Amino acid sequence: MGARLVVGCAAVTPSTTPTTASLTDRRPDVGRERLLADRVPPPHFDAESFDTYRTDPRYPSQQAAVDRLRQVAATLTGQGGGRGWFRKKAPVPAVYLDGGFGVGKTHLLASLAKAVGPERSAYGTFVEYTNLVGALGFRPTVDALATRTLVCIDEFELDDPGDTVLMARLLRELTDRGVALAATSNTLPESLGEGRFAADDFLREIQDLSGRFEVLRIDGQDYRQRDTVTDAAGLPDDVVRAAVAGTPDATLDDFGALTRHLATVHPSRYGALLDGVGLVALTGVAPLADQDVALRLVVLVDRLYDRDVPVLLGGAGESVLFSEQMLAGGYRKKYYRALSRLGALADQGRERLPG
């Protein structure tokens, strides 16, 4: 009995080091309804609309795109409940927003989805839709999305032939069932500022759907004026640990342990993995040798960015994550996007450090 009392006392003795939650302790169980309910514009765009998009008078195509998307929204919402009438009387709108990095394509896509309404529209990135198919199956995904008036696909990616074919089939079946479409894609970083756009690649890859899409070219400069890749060094691991100690909405994980944990969670659940998290801290950040691991990290970074969750990166920092071979390979657009977004989130994290 005495031994039991000693153990019990040890269990309740207050620790001198506040404990911090860990992402590796989370295994979110996300059902079909949550997966579909999450198909809305990310919180990053909660306050945005067509009215908050600031057009640059030097690039008239920006105002032209806003005007056309307002027309699309009016068309899709002006029929009351008569979607059947709409199917019979008018072509189903399908628009592709074509432009360089940082010209506001995602802002406009999110504004279109919000103007049509959350009950009528579905919004997600290309990867989120492929993950949705992986979680629900192809036919259930088509049936669920076919109940919407509009499906928006942000960052349509052309680097995986299998996924591109899958998405082209999904979009074809949705348009055949009267669903309007809107999509965006980005140019590769080496093409920024050169006036090269992705429309030709997009239309070629979706083949028989290409004639259904109206291309809205959006010229302009990157409003963020950020370098694509940041070179900020990682923080000392002890600084990262001290910064989040006792912070209620922070998580603290070893980078290697987190990347291993991501392999056990379906990517469609990475958003739920971040529920209630206001700051993510990682120690021991190091280069990634395996491409599968790197691609899972890209998805997590996208979900962090969608939710404006700052990060603190210990170890080597973000600039070493992806090898030169990865940055020159077929998935380079994903990796450059992740570096840009992770750099922005790391800047936000450093602003929260004392002093």
Q: In the prediction, which pLDDT does 146 show? A: 97
- Is the sign of the CA dihedral 46, 301, 186, 155 positive or negative? negative
Kindly state the average pLDDT of the residues 104-123: 95
Torsion-angle region of residue 26: left (phi > 0), alpha (psi -120 to 50) or beta?
A: beta
With 60 as the cut, is the pLDDT of residue 189 above it?
Answer: no
- CB-based contact 159:331 (threshold 8 Å): yes
3-state helix, strand, coil in the chain (%, to 5): 50, 15, 35
Q: In the prediction, which pLDDT does 147 show? A: 96
| 201 sits in which H/E element | helix 199-206
Of the listed ranges 69-83, 293-307, 339-353, the one predicted with least confidence: 69-83
d(CA 102, CA 111): 16
- At 85 the three-state DSSP class reads helix
Beta strands in the chain (DSSP E): 94-99, 121-125, 150-154, 180-185, 214-218, 250-254, 279-285, 311-315
- Encode 218-239: b = buried (16+ Cβ within 10 Å), e = exposed: bbbebeeeeeebbeeebbebee
Structure-token match 């765009």, residue found: 45
Among 9-23, 184-198, 334-348, top mean pLDDT goes to: 334-348
Q: In the prediction, which pLDDT does 13 show? A: 40
With 50 as the cut, is the pLDDT of residue 191 above it?
Answer: no
Angle, CA of 57, 64 and 340, to the nearest 5°: 70
Predicted confidence band at 14 (pLDDT cuts at 50, 70, 90)?
A: very low
Predicted confidence band at 314 (pLDDT cuts at 50, 70, 90)?
A: very high
Strand partners, 218: 99
Q: In the prediction, which pLDDT does 187 show? A: 52
Over the stretch 231-253, which tens digit does the pLDDT of each residue have?
Answer: 667 899 999 999 999 899 999 99
Could you tell me the end-to-end alpha-carbon distance of the chain, in angstroms, rounded to an integer?
50
Distances in Å between the alpha carbon of 108 and those of 20, 65, 169?
38, 8, 25
Using a pLDDT cut of 70, give the percent of the chain over it. 82
- CB-based contact 71:112 (threshold 8 Å): no
Predicted confidence band at 279 (pLDDT cuts at 50, 70, 90)?
A: very high
Instruction: Give domain 32-218's CATH superfamily.
Output: P-loop containing nucleotide triphosphate hydrolases (3.40.50.300)
Strand partners, 184: 97
Phi, psi of 66 (to 5 degrees): -60, -45
Q: pTM for the full model?
A: 0.77
- CB-based contact 68:217 (threshold 8 Å): no
Over the stretch 128-184, which tens digit does the pLDDT of each residue have?
Answer: 999 899 989 999 999 999 999 999 999 887 777 788 888 889 999 999 999 999 999
Of the listed ranges 66-80, 234-248, 254-268, the one predicted with least confidence: 66-80
d(CA 250, CA 20): 7
Kindly state the average pLDDT of the residues 75-86: 61
With 70 as the cut, is the pLDDT of residue 12 above it?
Answer: no
Domain ranges of the chain: 32-218, 226-351
Q: In the prediction, which pLDDT does 304 show? A: 96
d(CA 63, CA 60): 6
Phi, psi of 198 (to 5 degrees): -95, 5
Structure-token match 């309404």, residue found: 117
Kindly state the average pLDDT of the residues 306-319: 93
